Amino acid sequence: MIYHSTLFYIQWIKLNEHKEFSFNSIYSQIFTGAKMKVAVLMGSLSDKPKMQAAAEVLAEFGVPCELKIMSAHRSPALVQEYVRKAPDRGIRVVICGAGLAAHLAGTVAAHTTLPVIGVPLSGSALNGQDALLSTVQMPKGIPVATVAIDGAYNAGLLAVQMLAIGDPALTAKLQKFRTKMTHDLEQLNQENS
């Protein structure tokens, strides 16, 4: 019975999910019953090692997320389709990492009123300065909250802070995280003085 229900649920998610189907997202939906809250998008598979930190911090705070690869230049229609369906699937914040002439965050922001966090990625001849400027210099009316070059960790944390608005449990976790950070620093000083 449980086996058949699980199979049915997988089929249902397959039908309703985006075609870039992610096993991680099914796993977390089946076993936590949670809807995806944050989308972590990246322009290429080569960006994954740098973007993984966003998923890790989200997991640390128990926020369900999904990682997808899509490019503003190489798959523009896919980006539009994914972003259009995102709110109905529970997505509340979109994190976008891209390198070179990085237009993923801006393109996503153009298609949604969900908050978009941009992560400019290094690896180019210009060490990510190109991605930084393409991501941060958005025209008036379509904001992208841009973090540091390769700042995927902070992007994840900022997404948690956005979701914590009106969520006391998540706010308490953030406060605990800050307290620990301060405590660790104090301890470091004691050990090294």
CA nearest 115: which of 123, 101, 105? 105
Residue span binding ligand AIR (CB under 6 A) among the ranges 83-91, 92-100, 110-118, 184-192: 92-100
To ligand AIR, the closest distance from the beta carbon of 69 in angstroms equals 9
Q: Judged by CB under 6 A, which of 72, 110, 117, 164 binds ligand AIR?
A: 72
90 versus 123: smaller Cβ distance to ligand AIR: 123
54 versus 100: smaller Cβ distance to ligand AIR: 100
To ligand AIR, the closest distance from the beta carbon of 106 in angstroms equals 11
First-to-last C-alpha distance (Å) of the chain: 62
To ligand AIR, the closest distance from the beta carbon of 79 in angstroms equals 10
Scanning the chain, the segments in alpha helix (DSSP H) are: 2-16, 23-32, 48-60, 76-85, 104-111, 129-136, 152-164, 168-191
Q: Are 67 and 58 contacting, i.e. CB atoms less than 8 angstroms apart?
A: no
Cα separation of 134 and 153, whole Å? 20
Kindly state the tokens that stand for 15. 């039908």
Show contacts with ligand AIR in window 93-132 (CB under 6 A). Answer: 98-102, 121, 123
**Per-position x/- string for 32-71, each x denoting binding to ligand AIR as judged by CB under 6 A, each - no binding:** -----------xx-xx-----------------------x
42 versus 170: smaller Cβ distance to ligand AIR: 42
Q: Are 161 and 132 contacting, i.e. CB atoms less than 8 angstroms apart?
A: no
To ligand AIR, the closest distance from the beta carbon of 71 in angstroms equals 3
Provide Rg for the chain, Cα atoms. 18
Does 73 bind ligand AIR (CB under 6 A)? Our answer is yes
Number of residues that bind ligand AIR (CB under 6 A): 15
CA nearest 29: which of 114, 89, 82? 89
Looking at the DSSP bridge assignments, the partners of residue 41 are 68, 96
Where does this chain bind ligand AIR (CB under 6 A)? 43-44, 46-47, 71-74, 98-102, 121, 123
